[in-house]
Amino acid sequence: MVEGKRFEFFDKLLEKNKNGRWDINHSPLYLEFLRGKRDYSCTPWGNPNYSVLGWQKPCYLLDEGYAETFKELMATTEWENYGHQNNKKCADCTAHCGYEPTAVDEATSTFRGMVDSAKMVFQ
């Protein structure tokens, strides 16, 4: 999806849900990011995934393999190589696995993020 079109699509889709017809299980600030109202960077280490194959290297959408231990995952992954600013494969990404942790971090670590989240939840 083209940059502007991506945000336009989500903005229209989420605008139609103003009356809450659909339960969307995402943080309010992440939903604003999808609408193009917030600018976030990917936090690829924010949502580690484990399966019978091991610890999924980020991002699971890129399918770059597994680490046997969490320690190995953290030590051997070049985290700076992920995110739309650093990896052309990530250029059009808005996936929850990288951007929702960033939104949740803002909501829980800044006063403004906490207030914005609360206003969106209780409106």
Residue type at 117? S
* Contact (CB, 8 A) for 58 and 98: yes
pLDDT in tens, 9-27: 777 766 766 665 566 678 8
Helical packing angle, 96-109 and 111-121, nearest 10°? 110
Interatomic CA distance for residues 117 and 108, integer angstroms: 9
- Number of alpha carbons in the 13 Å side-chain half-sphere of residue 70: 6
Tell me the whole-structure pTM to 2 decimals: 0.76
At 16 the pLDDT is 63
pLDDT in tens, 40-87: 988 888 888 899 999 998 887 888 899 999 999 999 998 888 887 778
At 22 the pLDDT is 60
What is the sign of the dihedral through the CA atoms of 60, 31, 111 and 42?
Answer: positive
